[in-house]
Amino acid sequence: MGRVFRRAGVGPDDVVHNAYGYGLFTGGLGMHYAALEVGAAVVPMSGGYTQRQGKMLKDLGATVICSTPSYAQHIAEAMGEMGISRDDLHLKVGIFGAESWSLEMCRELETQLGITALDVYGLAEIIGPGVASECLIGHEGLHVAEDLFYFEVIDPDTGRPVPDGESGELVLSSLKREATPIMRYRTGDITRILPGPCSCGRTTRRIDHIKGRVDDMFTLRGINLFPREIESELLRIEELAPVFQLVLDRNSALDILEVHIEPKDHDIVHEHLIHKVKTHLNRTLGINVAVSVQEPHSIPRSEGKAVRLVDRRNLGR
C-alpha cells in the first residue's frame, strides 16, 4: 500500500484525510497505515458526518483525500452547500477506489475539489487495497504489483485468456501469500491489460480502470450495458447534478430501464431535461429509456459504495 501513496506523490509533507470506512472494511485501515508508512500525517475521519468532513478538510489543511469516488462527490456537494469552495482547501490529490467510476466522474471530482484524481484497486479476498493504482505522473492506467500477484484477463464465458488490450474478467494469483494462497481467483471485475510502458518510467504492466463487474452487466433490448457507461454519458450533461440511479423493471416480456436524475438548478424545466437525457442516451448508447426527474437531494447519497442499479425485474415473481 505504501507504493500507492508513493505513486501519487505523497510524502512527509502531506496531510491525508481518510474518509474510507474503518472497522472491518480493509480500505480504512489499509489507507491509514500506508499513509503513515510514507511519513504523512493522517486525519482518520472514516465515513459519515459529511458536513463535518468538509469543515475538517478546510480547518486541518489536508493535501490528500481518500474515499470512494461517490462519497467524494457527496462531500463536494455538502461543501458547496456550506459555502466552502475548492479555493478554501489545500487539496492536491485524491485516491479513490472500492467501486468502478468513469472518466467523466474523475474530471468532475477534479473540477469540484481542485485535485488530480487517481484510481486504486483492491479486493478483500486478495489483500485489500493496493493490488494496483494509478501514478501521478503518467495517469495512464493502474500499475499492478507484479511481484506480489500474477494477473490475467480472460473471456468470462470460455475462461480462456484474451490478448492485451481486449476487455475481459480479471484473474489474480498470489505469489507471496503463504497462509491462504489464492490461485487463479476470478475477481468478477471487467478490465483490460494496457499495452506498452507508462510515461512515468515504471516498468510494471498496467490495467485499465475497472469497467464494471460481470454480474453488473445487464441487457436492454439486445444491448449489453454497464452502469458506468450510462454514468459516463449522464455526466456530460451540464444541467444534471452528478448523481443518478438506474431502475430496471419488466413490463410483460419487455425489460424497461428508468433513469432517475436530479437537476443541478431548481429553475431547469423538467420536460426539457427529460427530452435531453432521452435523446442523448439514444444517440450515444442506442437505448430507449424512461427518465424521472427527482427532487434535489432525494436520490440516496453513499458514504461507501454507491448503489447505481436497482433491479426489480424478479421482485414478486
2-213, CATH topology level: Rossmann fold (3.40.50)
Nearest residue to 19 (alpha-carbon basis) of 59, 131, 11, 51: 51
What ranges make up the beta strands (E) of the chain?
Answer: 15-18, 41-43, 64-67, 93-97, 116-123, 128-134, 142-144, 149-154, 168-174, 185-191, 193-194, 206-207, 212-213, 218-220, 223-225, 240-251, 254-263, 290-293, 309-311
CB atoms within 10 A of CB 295: 9
- Predicted local confidence at residue 113, as pLDDT: 97
pLDDT at 269: 83
Which residues of the chain are in CATH 3.40.50.12780 domains?
2-213
Could you report the per-residue pLDDT of 57-106, keeping only the tens digit for each? Answer: 999 999 999 999 999 999 999 999 999 999 999 999 999 998 888 888 99
pLDDT at 35 over 90: yes
pLDDT for res 209: 94
β 223-225/218-220 pair status? antiparallel
Q: 22 or 303: whose pLDDT is higher?
A: 22
Q: What pLDDT is attached to residue 165?
A: 95
CA 246 remoteness from chain centre:
16
All CATH 3.30.300.30 domain ranges in the chain, comma separated: 218-311
> Is residue 304 pLDDT above 80, yes or no?
no
CATH architecture of 218-311: 2-Layer Sandwich (3.30)
Residues near 65 by Cβ (< 8 Å), separated by ≥ 6?
16, 17, 19, 57, 72, 75, 91, 93, 94, 95, 113, 115
